[in-house]
Structure 1
Amino acid sequence: MNVETSSRRTELFDATYAFVLEHGMAGLSLRPLAAAIGTSPRVLLYLFGNKDKLLRELLARARREQIAEMARALETGDGGADNFEELTSRLWVFLSAPEQRAMVRLTYEAFMLSLGREPGPWAGFAVESAQDWLDLLIDAQFDVPRAVAEARATRALATIRGLLIDLLACGDSERVAAAARLGGW
């Protein structure tokens, strides 16, 4: 791929990523996507191979970006045994922030699609992203035995996932935030 083609590919990929953050991935069709980002379906197919390959690249980018941002949110402070609730609170505050809503919605959309009977391009997304999130919280508990750190992280993430799904479904930030505070966050 030459420099011009590579540059155009990057430009269209960025535009596609912005589009799916706003509109989601389920039912994505190349013709409306191409029209929205100022290209043609033929160009998208040339640059990305096929729709499934494009979706997989978008999912990989979403995972990378979200994990990098989550890691930054967790890196300040002490992650030892006594501060796990504070770490979990920071993670909740970060993920529930209005500016994260599009990314969280995209993550959960892909998460649920990957659990379907025929997950297609979403195959493996749920298990991979769940493990990414789990690893972040386990690693943040550096002075806790692995089995305990894993159990604590699993419980915290299950609670955060449930609260985030409720937040996305209902949009009731006050009620969901009150539930998070009840959990110590």
Structure 2
Amino acid sequence: MVFFSVGVVEARLCAVRHGDWLVGYLRMVDEQTVPVVGMTISVRTRRDVVIADSERFLAAARAAYRDLYPEVSEESAAENVRDVYDAVHILLDRYGRLAADASETLGPRGLDRPDGLVPAGEVQQVVLGDPMTLQDYGCFLPGDPFALPTEAGIWLSDSSGGSAEQA
């Protein structure tokens, strides 16, 4: 942990090891958010990948489909995984993310991966006190479920290295 001062603002740089990578974020030294019963914690995540080889990308998605449904043939997998949306949803269902090992293999574009994908960044944002959880919306999600709440008192913390700010 590193402490530093910028003018009259004191901040703490926190670092967490994630695989071979060191991930950091800033917190104001005097900033402490105490958890309270009923507090809503929302995590908004963005993970980008670039398709480097479309044939390997579809082949990886079809293999994931067959992992999920071992009784299906290769032909059936090819019929059910035909486009980007099919492939993305199958990879998410199978691995929980597009490039299952992305945290360990971040590198330059053109990295030769068997799934034909190149991880191109990840960022998470923590939002405290969102007035409605996704479950509260029932079957009718808002137009933009990723939009930040506009109510005062919502604190945003950007894990990509940005500092906390009040919305």
Q: TM-score, normalised by structure 2?
A: 0.21
Question: Structure 1 or 2: larger helix share?
Answer: 1
**More relative contact order, 1 or 2 (CA 8 Å, 6+ apart):** 2
Question: Structure 1 or 2: larger strand share?
Answer: 2
Q: TM-score, normalised by structure 1?
A: 0.20
